[in-house]
Amino acid sequence: MAVSRNLPRWLVAIPTLALLAAACGTDDEGDNGAAGSDGGGEVVFFSTQLAPVEEAEKVRTTILAGYDGEVDFIGAENYGAWVDRITAEAEAGDVTIDLLGGLHGDYVSLGTERLTDVSDLQEELSGAGFDETFLELARLGTDSTYYIPWMQATYIMVANTQALDHLPDGADVNELTYEEYAEWAANIFEATGQAKVGFPAGEDGLLPRFFEGYLLPAFTGGLVTTFNESDEAWDWMRGIWEHTHPQSVGYGFMQDPLLSEEVWVAWDHVARLKDALEQRPDDFVAFPAPAGPEGRAYMPVLAGLAIPQGAPNADSARSLIEYISAPDTQAATLREVGFFPVVAGDLPEDVSPGVQLQADAVAMQTEAEDALPSLLPIGLGDAGGDFNKVFVDTFTRIVLNGEDTRTVLEEQSAVLDALMQETGAPCWEPDPESEGPCQVG
């Protein structure tokens, strides 16, 4: 029997029709208003924050529901893709994005030449009561404001209540020291035979921030200037790593291993711990990061809203920013997605148990007697990735590969110093102010 020589018509028709459909456009979102039109078009809001499915839906259906206008909220899969897209549109001269949402570090990477100066908008919104530190950051090292503060967050710790039984004697989980933390990890290992501490050391994990804003400042009181003296901190890390879950090098978001109980104690960004607290608030506790010899170092995280150069609906974008800065929207943001307001005012009372746990931990961390705020790196330009890499490489070599701490620190100090010289970035808290580029001590 011969193979059928005639393909059924439908088999040929489908691809042809599809090709025609594609060519003639089955796309829904076409141009959304010519450049220069004001107030009429849909605002295309491209953000690295609140991208996960549930959060994004909350933004669309709840947080922005009261806005009088159309918003197309699009999440980016990571900040690299976000920067790529904005850069490509700018270089091609055809911008479709109206409003940007990103972290301070994302804007540092992007660069001020892609952003519109929003100093005037910031003046208009001065009644909102933005914290002066945030406004300083929002200037990205210049005299003009390039983004409007949007929400804030920080990094805290979360533990399964089962782990509390293994705390060292006399330790208060809300006032831990790094030493006690290491002991706690060892206790859990002895009792259960498994390493139940976790760190976000994976591909998308925020471990670099742990070193930059928590571990090193807590041990040395500084970051860049004291880098070459941070031996103790790295030895501590090497110690606790023995009782840390090996799959930590794959963890990006600690909430999943916490929920599946692969891990009992974790440090991470509040947004990446939220699911655990929301879904099972009775099984988890949230508490501040530990304190080292120099204090309880922590790093605030600032997200901001900006308008790209050449945005087609800049005016609509501005009014959307105004809407988001309003106290009601800020309260809704906290309620829905757990990010804290940046405007003056009391926190709303009616938050979910999970968010309450989070808020309490953040408050304890910020208001601790020995609190030591460490700022985000400033003035690094697009060398932010290289900066983080110094810490990741140091971690890899000392903790994962077992190299000698002193040798590695000498070599990495040289790398860090060269980087600071190249970028010319001045020191930032908790390092003392510097004239000229920050020097590695």
Q: Using CB under 8 A, which residues numbered 364 to 403 contact another protein? A: 382, 384-386, 388-389, 393, 396-397, 400
Q: Check: CB of residue 224 under 8 Å from CB of residue 420.
A: yes
User: What single DSSP character describes residue 249?
Assistant: G
Using the rule CB under 8 A, which residue among 81, 344, 363, 414 binds another protein?
Answer: 81
d(CA 239, CA 219): 15
Complex with another protein: residue 60 or 238, whichever CB lies closer: 60
- Residue ranges of alpha helices (H) inside 139-222 are 178-192, 207-209, 216-220
Is residue 54 a contact point for another protein (CB under 8 A)? Answer: yes
Report how many residues bind another protein under the rule CB under 8 A.
84
Token pair listed for 434: 């510097």
Q: Are 292 and 237 in contact (CB under 8 A)?
A: no
Closer Cβ to another protein, 274 or 318, answer by number: 274
For residue 72, the cross-strand partners are 44
Distance between CA atoms of residues 440 and 390, nearest Å = 13
Among 53, 127, 143, 435, binds another protein (CB under 8 A): 53
Residue pair 381/423 in contact (Cβ under 8 Å)? The answer is yes
Which of 67, 74, 144, 348 touches another protein (CB under 8 A)? 74
Binders of another protein in range 281-310 (CB under 8 A)? none
Burial of 27: CB neighbours in 10 Å, binned 0-12, 13-18, 19+: exposed
Q: How far is the CB of 100 from another protein (least distance, A)?
A: 13
Nearest distance from residue 146's CB to another protein, in Å?
Answer: 19
* Distance, CA of 305 to CA of 310 (rounded, Å): 16
Of the candidates 9, 16, 36, 367, which one interacts with another protein according to CB under 8 A?
16
- How distant is the alpha carbon of residue 411 from its chain centre? 28
Which residue bears the tokens 């208060």? Answer: 172
* Residue 394 host element (H or E): helix 384-395
Residue 307: is it exposed, middle or buried by C-beta count within 10 angstroms (0-12/13-18/19+)? Answer: buried
Q: Is 72 in the site for another protein (CB under 8 A)?
A: yes
Candidates 35, 65, 88, 344; binder of another protein (CB under 8 A) is 88
Interaction pattern, residues 21-40, with another protein; x per rule: CB under 8 A: xxx-xxxxx-----------
Phi and psi at 192, nearest 5°, equal -105, -15
- How far is residue 276's CA from residue 283's CA, in Å, rounded to a whole number? 9
- List the one residue from 41, 43, 46, 297 that touches another protein (CB under 8 A): 46
When the beta carbons of 72 and 294 are compared against another protein, the nearer one is 72
- Nearest to another protein of 283, 294 (CB atom): 283
Q: Of all helices (H) and strands (E), which one includes residue 103?
A: strand 99-103
Write down the least CB distance from residue 50 to another protein, Å.
10
Task: List the one residue from 33, 60, 352, 356 that touches another protein (CB under 8 A).
Answer: 60
Quick one: 122 or 394, whose CB is closer to another protein? 394
Q: Looking only at residues 253 through 272 of this chain, which bind another protein when binding is defined by CB under 8 A? A: 253, 255-256, 259-262
Would you say 344 or 400 has its CB closer to another protein?
400
Taking CB under 8 A as the rule, does residue 242 contact another protein?
Answer: no
Applying CB under 8 A, the span of 93-101, 124-132, 174-182, 319-327 interacting with another protein comes to 93-101
Which residue's entry shows tokens 């009391």?
346
Strand partners, 148: 305
Residue with smaller CB distance to another protein, 122 or 244: 244
Which of 40, 66, 80, 436 binds another protein (CB under 8 A)? It is 80
Pick from 377, 411, 379, 418: nearest CA to 208: 377
52 near another protein (CB under 8 A) = yes
Nearest distance from residue 336's CB to another protein, in Å?
15
Q: Which of residues 149-188 bind another protein (CB under 8 A)?
A: none
Binding of another protein by 57 (CB under 8 A): yes
* Whole-number Cα distances in Å, 348 to 171, 331, 355, 359: 32, 6, 11, 11
Binding mask 94-123 for another protein (x = CB under 8 A): x-xx-----------x--------------
Q: Are 236 and 219 in contact (CB under 8 A)?
A: yes
Q: Which stretch binds another protein (CB under 8 A): 81-89, 147-155, 292-300, 302-310?
A: 81-89
Least distance (Å) from another protein to the CB of residue 281? 14
For residues 334 and 352, the answer to whether their CB atoms sit within 8 Å is no
From 33-41, 195-203, 331-339, 340-348, span contacting another protein (CB under 8 A): 195-203
